[in-house]
Amino acid sequence: MKTINQNKISKKFFISEILGFGCIIILIWMDEILDIPHILFNAPATPLNLKEGIIESIVVIILGIITLLYIYRILKKLKYISGFLHLKLYEIQN
């Protein structure tokens, strides 16, 4: 029962992380296509720069992968440690 609940929490966490990084990528491309600084602040208009958008997207994807791997390692260690806590609590109760 605990592992099912922990797996659901892990999946929800990873899905929210992926959605967050996906929103950042969408904002990058909205800025490139719509030129948001020009619309909001009357800044000088800039042309569409595909190379910049691609590079920024790749950087966000790399950072997202690094973050997800790091969080995965932390959750794996936490699950391992929580197994010891469960055993100790069981020994104390008996």
Mean pLDDT of the chain: 87
- Please state, as a whole number, how many other Cβ atoms lie within 10 Å of the Cβ of residue 54: 13
Alpha carbon distance 63, 83 (integer Å):
30
Between residues 5 and 33, which one has the greater pLDDT? Answer: 33
| Residue 1: per-residue pLDDT | 44
Between residues 10 and 59, which one has the greater pLDDT? Answer: 59
- pLDDT over 80 at 73, yes or no: yes
- pLDDT over 80 at 90, yes or no: no
CA angle (13 as vertex; 7, 17 as ends), nearest 5:
145
The answer to whether 14 and 50 are in contact (CB under 8 A) is no
Between residues 82 and 65, which one has the greater pLDDT? Answer: 65
pTM of the model: 0.80
